[in-house]
Chains A and B, each alone.
Chain A
Amino acid sequence: EVQLTESGGDSVQPGGSLRLSCAASGIIFSSHWMSWLRQAPGKGLEWVGNIKEDGSEKYYVDSVKGRFTISRDNAKNSVYLQINSLRVEDTAMYYCARDMGAFDFWGQGTMVTVSS
């Protein structure tokens, strides 16, 4: 059974930083692109960025470039999202997902709240 488990969400002040983690099991993690997505409260889905199997390529949506960094540790079957200079508009549920072009497996999400 495939499982993706996110962690690291928290309530932080604007300008703060967080590191989100996503641990995978049930898949050959090192063989797959992985994506991060987010969903603001009551809003739709937004793709944040993705990372290639070996971590050599990363892509981001324009609104997070320079502030968000995706990384992975294939030895730990984990992908990470470092979020810096947090803004109120970054408040959202953050999901990781296996990226096969389509997102076939999703985690349960971890909530990030940015508020003063």
Chain B
Amino acid sequence: DIVMTQTPLSLSVTPGQPASISCKSSQSLLHSDGKTFLSWYLQKPGQSPQLLIFELSSRFSGVPDRFSGSGSETDFTLRISRVEAEDVGVYYCMQSKDLPRTFGQGTKVELK
């Protein structure tokens, strides 16, 4: 199975400041079709997870442009340009290149 490792596991951010979360995979997520099957999710307190970014860097419909995804074959980053109060929760990366789909441990983001 592909192991996904996130850092840090918790993050305290001042509103209006940037934040970034790292995710590393144990194998390349670059498919032969040129796509990288890495997605990011946010689970707000008491809610179901919601998709933020898919295929490495594509924002899902309705996701604010302060969220961006980047990276290469095994190293990925989610950046929030200016953290807002509604961004608190747990962020997960997930690979969908191989089965089983696997998630990172999650990064809890809170406000200072």
Contact = CB atoms under 8 A, between A and B. Distances in A.
A108 interface: yes
Interface stretch (A21-29, A43-51, A76-84): A43-51
Q: Is the contact region of chain A dominated by helix, strand, or loop, or is it mixed?
A: strand
Interface stretch (A8-16, A67-75, A98-106): A98-106
A35 interface: yes
A43 to B, nearest CB: 9
A1 interface: no
Interface in B42-100: 43, 48-51, 54-55, 60, 90, 92, 94, 96, 99-100
Contacts of B90: 44
Q: How large is the interface on A (under 10, 10 to 19, 20 to 34, 35 or more residues)?
A: 10 to 19
Contacts of B50: 106
A109 B48 contact: yes
Given A44-B106, A59-B99, A102 B48 contact: no
Contacts of A88: none
Interface string B19-59: 00000000000000000010101010000111100110000
Interface string A54-70: 00000111100000000
A107 to B, nearest CB: 7
Which of B43, B49, B100, B104 has the largest count of A CB atoms less than 10 A from its CB? Answer: B100
Given A44-B106, A59-B99, A62-B100, A103 B49 contact: yes
B55 A101 contact: yes
B25 to A, nearest CB: 15
Interface of B: 37, 39, 41, 43, 48-51, 54-55, 60, 90, 92, 94, 96, 99-106
Interface of A: 35, 44-47, 59-62, 95, 100-104, 106-109
